[in-house]
């Protein structure tokens, strides 16, 4: 088994913008964004953690110094892998770019999410989206260069979550309820991934429905859950797990 090793954590996420502002001055902007840490054998993974020397720049600073508008900055629910200890959640950050420029992108764990261990599930992968929810929506490459961006385009950065540790169906229902109330886990995921049913509206623990869900046939994840792409890749290589 996985012993006492922690689950996997995402690596860095960063994007750069280059161009000229409305006054003709050269513009260079670089921003790293936090992601979720892998769960530990003793605790949940940390949420929205920045990689090494990266900084969580205040929205007011960015909007005051650069031609940008931050329209959303939030935890990405369910992105942390389910487990007795949940993987840390990544974030969603929507950045409206107010001038024409070019962009470069860097993000790991896009094809292969962070693995869960000892029955914990893999976290969600990350991605860059340009103009989400519109006819111009497109997913950007995780390692892109010289991507043209027009004034008014919206960049959405969805960062990955850490892997989970241990069987999520053994997590105390009150801990799952707390994660739902704090916005880290949705009501749907609480039932599907943890076997915890919450009542509509007041989100109380439905003990009978929870017992039914947890007593139903349940198979925990393999010792290491690499996500669908990871398991398929190893199978193609002929590597036994």
**Angstrom distance (rounded) from CA 142 to CA 139:** 9
**Angstrom distance (rounded) from CA 58 to CA 74:** 13
Q: Are 110 and 127 in contact (CB under 8 A)?
A: yes
Predicted local distance difference test score (pLDDT) of residue 69 = 98
Q: Grade residue 22 by pLDDT with cuts at 50, 70 and 90.
A: confident
- DSSP lists the bridge partners of residue 154 as 96
**Angstrom distance (rounded) from CA 130 to CA 169:** 37
List Cβ neighbours of 65 (8 Å cut-off, separation of 6 or more): none
Q: What number is the average pLDDT over the span 137-141?
A: 97
Specify the pTM.
Answer: 0.90
Share of the chain above pLDDT 70, in %: 92
What's the pLDDT tens digit per position in 172-215?
999 999 999 999 999 999 999 999 999 999 999 999 999 999 99
Predicted local distance difference test score (pLDDT) of residue 217 = 65
**Angstrom distance (rounded) from CA 107 to CA 129:** 12
What's the pLDDT tens digit per position in 86-124?
999 999 999 999 999 999 999 998 888 999 999 999 999
């Amino acid at each position: 088994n996985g012993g006492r090793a922690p689950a996997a954590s995402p690596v860095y996420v960063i994007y750069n913008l280059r161009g000229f502002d409305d006054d003709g001055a050269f513009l260079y902007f670089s921003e790293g964004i936090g992601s979720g840490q892998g769960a530990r054998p003793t605790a949940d993974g940390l949420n929205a953690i920045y990689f090494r020397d990266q900084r969580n720049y205040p929205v007011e600073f960015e909007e005051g110094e650069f031609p940008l508008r931050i329209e959303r900055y939030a935890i990405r629910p369910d992105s942390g892998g389910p487990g007795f200890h949940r993987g840390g959640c990544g974030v969603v950050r929507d950045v409206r770019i107010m001038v024409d420029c070019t962009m470069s992108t860097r993000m790991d764990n896009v094809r292969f999410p962070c693995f869960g261990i000892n029955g914990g599930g893999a976290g969600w992968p990350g991605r860059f989206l340009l103009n989400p929810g519109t006819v111009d929506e497109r997913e950007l490459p995780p390692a892109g260069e010289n991507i043209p961006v027009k004034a008014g385009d919206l960049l959405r950065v969805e960062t990955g979550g850490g892997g989970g540790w241990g069987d999520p169906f053994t997590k105390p229902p009150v801990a799952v309820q707390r994660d739902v109330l704090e916005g880290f886990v949705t009501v749907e995921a609480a039932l599907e991934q943890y076997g915890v049913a919450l009542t509509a509206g007041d989100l109380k623990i439905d003990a009978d429905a929870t017992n039914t869900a947890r007593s139903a046939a349940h198979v925990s994840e393999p010792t290491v859950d690499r996500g669908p792409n990871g398991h398929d890749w190893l199978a193609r290589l002929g590597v036994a797990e």
